[in-house]
Amino acid sequence: MRSIYEQASIHELTGLSYAAFQQDPRRALAQAGQDDAQEHIARGFRPLLPEQARIRARLDATWATGREEVQPRDRPRSNVVRLGSAGKRRSA
């Protein structure tokens, strides 16, 4: 159980101690956005990284509100150049 606690970054994501995690591991994993961490580990994969878990939680919360579109936070301006139908360069 300690390996799940450590690999899923429970302390970093929730602030819970290992002792608190042991009291209700499923709840702690869900609180951390890592409720499927055990399945990933069992299949030989690593759980989500802390930032991935935070993004998942933000997306889940947004989707729960029924909004279809999710806007990225602090998105840098794109430097992508698109080509027009005749192959001419135009700014994005």
Task: For residue range 37-91, list pLDDT tens digits in order.
Answer: 999 999 999 999 999 999 998 888 888 887 665 555 665 555 555 556 655 555 5
Domain total in the chain:
1
Q: Print the domain residue range for 10.
A: 2-63
Strands (E), the chain: 81-83, 89-91
Dist CA 80 CA 60 (whole Å) = 29
∠22-35-12 over CA atoms, to 5°? 65
Query: Is the pLDDT higher at 62 or at 29?
Result: 29
User: Does a structural domain hold residue 92?
Assistant: no
User: Does a structural domain hold residue 12?
Assistant: yes
Q: Do the beta carbons of residue 37 and residue 4 sit within 8 Å?
A: yes
User: Does a structural domain hold residue 69?
Assistant: no
Reading phi first (left if > 0) and then psi (alpha if -120 to 50, else beta), residue 47 is in: beta
